Structure 1
């Protein structure tokens, strides 16, 4: 865990000691909005969506998270979103109380979690830019391009993207109807920017989509 960070062996071992490895199959809740928050999570492999339940019954997806991302933000001691796995997912579960004690012993670890917060803010910024783009086709094209950043889901040799989310997830994330997702995918295919191989697998011309976006 945290192998990509420049931590000392003692710091890494201390983090591993308070982390529990857990598994969640696809489409399972990690936690529900409004529950007391006792843990934060880091994705070992797989993908997770964060959604907010609206008072009118709708769910607003505002983030898709991938390997190495961290989540579990609290408001007043409660989770302010729900976290649901998109695919078979393995997680590190970290006790909030144990983490607070660990930071007192190893202050540098706090910088690691600050970096995670900054990365999360960048993710939210990219989502805002996508969701407010006036052209629906550019919203979807930009989203597909973002997904190709995930090496576990995009094969650079074949240029094939395996979508972790379904059409409804994409629609809820980008702010349009589910029917619009399918129609706009066809428009991108007619333009020669993508080739749909199945419901989840898409061959993408990254250079042309990048220029289009």
Structure 2
């Protein structure tokens, strides 16, 4: 947990792309009361606070990230400290890896990676982190995961072959687009994509049949599924 519940809520409102007013209206709280609470000048009932925490993906009883959902967060600046504060508050060890699309044959630019989804995972928490900064934001304004997360001991890079400058899971465009733009992802989708390059201790082995089943469940035709699997499998074969 963060030192203050108010700090955790403010960071999560920011990371989830909400506003104080919007969060208040979604949970039936007067916006002025929630604003004053976050400044330490007011109180909010325990029942309403539980609604706020649930909306933001926090288990009200334990104060930790919910293991029953994929937490989709984004920032519009280069500042990683809101992310680092939340990861630090959990007391968990995290691994991370970038997700890149099939269409990018060679990723060399630091900024190209910064715009790709970063998958972050602990034993119980699953996060898709996206940077959505202005195009003109100077590269010097971007904080790097190595400095803010790795050196602080909050996360480490997943141990898979580095096809590029960072460990990377490369997937077909349709899968990448879902992780890049979707507002909601299932825990099963996250686990299956995380398992593509290998498996973590205790995980069941990944099979293409599992991905086939998931994609068909998302409404893809058998032909679309076949093309997706062929593209992804072909690229991994070339990389070996």
Please indicate the TM-score interval, normalised by the length of the shorter structure. Answer: under 0.3
The structure with more strand, counted as a fraction of residues = 1
The structure with more helix, counted as a fraction of residues = 2
Q: TM-score, normalised by structure 2?
A: 0.24
Q: TM-score, normalised by structure 1?
A: 0.26
